[in-house]
Structures are given as C-alpha cells and as structure tokens.
C-alpha cells in the first residue's frame, strides 16, 4: 500500500525553480517558499554527520598501531571526496583524476626536497598548482563528452606520468622522489615513524576539505552543478553559464585532489610514479563507487573499506587483490547501484527510518 504514496519530489527541482525565478527577476521568493526551505535545510548539520569524525577519533584512540595506515586512509578519503565533486555533482566521468593527485604530490615533494619543508604552506601551494592544472586541462577537455572526454582525461594523466618518468633528473623517475625534508607541523609536531602526527594532520586537512566541499555542494553553485548533470540543455536555457560552472568545479576538485596528493607526499616523505597512474585513477573511482556517488559521504565509507581490504588482501598477494576488487565492482554494478549509501538508503526507506 505504501507504494502508492506520491514519490518525494527530487531535491534538485527546488533548486531549479529557485534559479528559474532568479532568472525572471526573482524578488518574489520569501523565507517560507519550499524552494528556499529545501536549500536552507540542506545546510543544517545533522547528527549523523558527526559519525565519520567520531569514528576517526575512535580509530586514533583504539588502534594506535595503525596510525600510518589511518593517515593513508584519510588522504584517500579526501581524494575520493574531490572526485565526488566532479563525478557525483557535476557528472563528469574522468579516468585521469590521478593527474591532479600526482601534480600535488610532486609539487609538495619537490618543495620539501628543495628546502621548502614547511608543510602547511607546501599543501597550499600543491593545491594551487593542481588547481591551475585543473583549469588548464579542464578548459581543453570539458568541451567534449563521452568517450572523447574519457580519452582526453586518460591521455593527460598518461602524459604527465610519462613526463615524470622521463624527467628523472627532477622527479627521480621510476625510483621515485626521495630526500624530502618535511619540517614539523606549525614548527611543533615532527612527523614520526608511527604516524601519530600524520594522522592528526591528515584528519585536520580532511576536515577543512570536507567543510569546503559541503559548503560548495549546498550552495546555489552546487545546485546549479547538479542541474547541469541532470539536464544540461535546460540549464543553458535558463541562463546558467554551463561551461564556466563545470570548469570551476573541475578546478576546485583538482585543487582538492592536489592537496590530497601533497598530504601523501608529506606524510610518507616519498613520491612514486604511481601517484599519476591509471591504477590510481581507477582506485579512487572504485572507492567512491563502493561508498556511493554524489552523496558527499560516499568517500567516507568507500575509501576506508577499500584501503583496509587492500591492506588485508594485498599482504598475501597484490595481484589476487585485483580479483576481489574486480568481482566487487561487477557485483556493485549488477546488484547495488549507487554503492553502500544507496543500499543503506533503500533499507532505511523500507523500514521507514528517517536520518
């Protein structure tokens, strides 16, 4: 019987109507209009949004021997979160997101190897350089769609990897970039072998990255992105500067990915060629898919699942790990589209639990 109830209106339509009325002059919107309510209510922090942070703190307290792995997981979450912004919200399918991760990693790494060891400014610079790379490459690739877009993103990442491979004098080539000297965070906390500092540092950066991303996707800009994903022509028709919006999102995501790359470089004090590889682009895609795309929290579920499973399985043999992750992907596409969060949502809807 429940099935006959009217389906809840998709959330995007509120934003669309808001934009629509803006383009007509827009002054008639009042505080009580449902569109404004929809926008405002999505800003509010909900109780469950504290869960990832509580879990992260709990993990720090209860698993002291896993802090190094934990720092890597937090980095991966930030990387997946940046992908969610363009894949989940702007609907850009990319096979080369590692390009920006790698650019950030090499930027932070080169800075630290050449005397600029201060980590926070290093991260900021890594983010800026990766963001610039995002603007440059986005201006080229975002004019295309489908297979061409996939290919162009793949090509750019492959080119960068090959360039880093061949420019061994600067990047260390296949041996990786070594001799990094990262200064203590804030001049106080030295990066230790156990990864205690790294964990807290990554957690703090991830928190800032999450705040930024959350702010973006809930803003009018974020709603416009979703609108473009759902119906590009209509957004164009109501006067949204489609290309510029997509390019902005691409650049922001690139900058966040660059920060994630910088984090990895600083916490491991090493940058390898594989930070630019297709495998990494694929892995971050998989993490996000496992968690759920376009939900902001997919990265927080998918990345830890992937990284912990990899840590367990890959100890036996890194290649057999590929089998399980491949099988999991096939199963997710066949039976659990939308990843863990979509499945959770379906279960909760069945039992009518409200978040």
Partner 1 sequence: MNALLSIAFHGLAFATVLYLVSVGLSITLGLMGFVNLAHGVFAVTGGYIMLTLMSRFGVPFPLSLAVTCFVVAAGSVVIERLLYRELYGGDELDQVLLSIGLVFMSVAIAKYLWGPLPQPLHPPSYLSGQVFLGSRGFPTYRFFLIVSGAVVVTLLWLGLERTRFGAMIRAAVDNRRMAQSIGINTALLFTLTFALGSGLAALGGALGADILEIDPGYALEQLIYFLIVVAVGGLGSIRGPFFAALLVGTADTAFKYLQPELGAFFIYAVTLALLLWRPQGLFGRA
In the complex with partner 1, which residue's Cβ is closer, 221 or 278? 278
Q: Compute the distance between CA of residue 323 and CA of residue 137 in angstroms, rounded to an integer.
A: 33
Neighbours of 215 (CB within 10 A): 12
In the complex with partner 1, which residue's Cβ is closer, 39 or 80? 80
Per CB under 8 A, contacts with partner 1 among 223-282 are 278-279, 282
Q: Compute the distance between CA of residue 32 and CA of residue 28 in angstroms, rounded to an integer.
A: 11
Q: Compute the distance between CA of residue 144 and CA of residue 99 in angstroms, rounded to an integer.
A: 18
- How far is CA 106 from each of CA 101, 125, 142, rounded to the nearest angstrom? 9, 11, 25
Stretch near partner 1 under the rule CB under 8 A, chosen from 64-72, 229-237, 299-307, 315-323:
315-323
In the complex with partner 1, which residue's Cβ is closer, 29 or 167? 167
In the complex with partner 1, which residue's Cβ is closer, 41 or 144? 144
Q: Which of 29, 57, 58, 93 binds partner 1 (CB under 8 A)?
A: 93
Q: How far is the CB of 189 from partner 1 (least distance, A)?
A: 39
- Establish if 320 lies at the interface with partner 1 (CB under 8 A): yes
Q: Which token pair is 25?
A: 């002059």
Q: How far is the CB of 74 from partner 1 (least distance, A)?
A: 24
Per CB under 8 A, contacts with partner 1 among 137-176 are 140, 143-144, 146-148, 150-152, 154-156, 158-159, 162-163, 165-166
- Establish if 6 lies at the interface with partner 1 (CB under 8 A): no
**CA 37 from centre of chain:** 27
In the complex with partner 1, which residue's Cβ is closer, 4 or 315? 315
DSSP state of 48: G
Q: Which of 124, 329, 336, 343 binds partner 1 (CB under 8 A)?
A: 329
User: Nearest 5°: phi and psi at 167?
Assistant: -90, 55
Neighbours of 190 (CB within 10 A): 11
Q: Which token pair is 325?
A: 């992750």
Q: Compute the distance between CA of residue 95 and CA of residue 86 in angstroms, rounded to an integer.
A: 12
- Establish if 327 lies at the interface with partner 1 (CB under 8 A): yes
Q: Compute the distance between CA of residue 338 and CA of residue 333 in angstroms, rounded to an integer.
A: 8
Q: How far is the CB of 58 from partner 1 (least distance, A)?
A: 31
Binding footprint of partner 1, residue count (CB under 8 A): 44
Owner of token pair 């957004």: 235
In the complex with partner 1, which residue's Cβ is closer, 131 or 339? 339
Q: Which of 321, 336, 343, 345 binds partner 1 (CB under 8 A)?
A: 321
Per CB under 8 A, contacts with partner 1 among 291-310 are 293
DSSP letter string, 284-331: HHHHHHHH-TTSSSHHHHHHHHHHHHHHHHHHH-HHHHHHHHHHHHHH
In the complex with partner 1, which residue's Cβ is closer, 30 or 316? 316
**CA 6 from centre of chain:** 34
Per CB under 8 A, contacts with partner 1 among 33-92 are 87
Sign of torsion over alpha carbons 294, 300, 305, 310: positive
- Establish if 121 lies at the interface with partner 1 (CB under 8 A): no
In the complex with partner 1, which residue's Cβ is closer, 63 or 322? 322
Which residues lie below 8 Å from residue 270, measured CB to CB, with a gap of 6+? 109, 176, 177, 178, 180
DSSP state of 189: B
In the complex with partner 1, which residue's Cβ is closer, 201 or 250? 250
Q: How far is the CB of 151 from partner 1 (least distance, A)?
A: 4
Site string for partner 1, 170-209 (x = CB under 8 A): ----------------------------------------
Residues near partner 1 (CB under 8 A) are 87, 93, 95, 140, 143-144, 146-148, 150-152, 154-156, 158-159, 162-163, 165-166, 278-279, 282, 285-286, 289, 293, 319-330, 332-334, 337
């Amino acid at each position: 019987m429940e099935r006959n109830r009217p389906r809840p209106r998709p959330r995007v339509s509120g934003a669309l109507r808001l934009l629509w009325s803006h383009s007509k002059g827009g002054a008639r919107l009042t505080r009580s209009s449902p569109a404004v309510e929809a926008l405002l209510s999505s800003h509010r922090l909900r109780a469950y949004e504290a869960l990832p942070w509580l879990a992260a703190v709990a993990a720090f307290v209860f698993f002291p021997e896993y802090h190094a792995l934990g720092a890597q997981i937090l980095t991966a979450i930030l990387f997946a979160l940046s992908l969610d912004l363009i894949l989940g919200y702007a609907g850009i399918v990319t096979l080369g997101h590692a390009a920006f991760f790698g650019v950030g990693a090499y930027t932070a790494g080169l800075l630290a190897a050449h005397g600029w060891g201060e980590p926070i400014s290093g991260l900021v610079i890594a983010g800026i350089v990766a963001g610039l790379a995002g603007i440059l490459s986005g201006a080229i690739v975002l004019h295309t769609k489908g297979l061409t877009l996939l290919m162009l993103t793949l090509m750019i990442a492959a080119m960068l990897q090959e360039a880093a491979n061949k420019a061994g004098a600067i990047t260390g080539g296949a041996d990786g970039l070594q001799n990094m000297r990262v200064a203590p965070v804030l001049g106080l906390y030295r990066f230790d072998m156990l990864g205690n500092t790294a964990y807290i540092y990554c957690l703090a950066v991830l928190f800032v990255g999450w705040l930024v991303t959350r702010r973006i996707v809930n803003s009018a800009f974020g709603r416009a992105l979703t609108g473009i994903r759902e119906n590009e022509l209509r957004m164009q028709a109501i006067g949204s500067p489609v290309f510029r919006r997509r390019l902005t999102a691409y650049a922001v995501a690139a900058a966040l990915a660059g920060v994630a790359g910088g984090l990895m470089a600083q916490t491991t004090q090493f940058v390898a060629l594989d930070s630019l590889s297709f495998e990494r682009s694929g892995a971050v895609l998989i993490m996000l898919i496992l968690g759920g795309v376009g939900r902001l929290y997919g990265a927080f579920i998918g990345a830890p699942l992937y990284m912990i499973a990899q840590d367990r399985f890959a100890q036996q043999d890194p290649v057999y790990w590929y089998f399980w992750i491949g099988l999991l992907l096939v199963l997710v596409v066949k039976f659990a589209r939308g990843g863990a969060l979509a499945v959770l949502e379906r279960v909760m809807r069945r039992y009518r639990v409200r978040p």
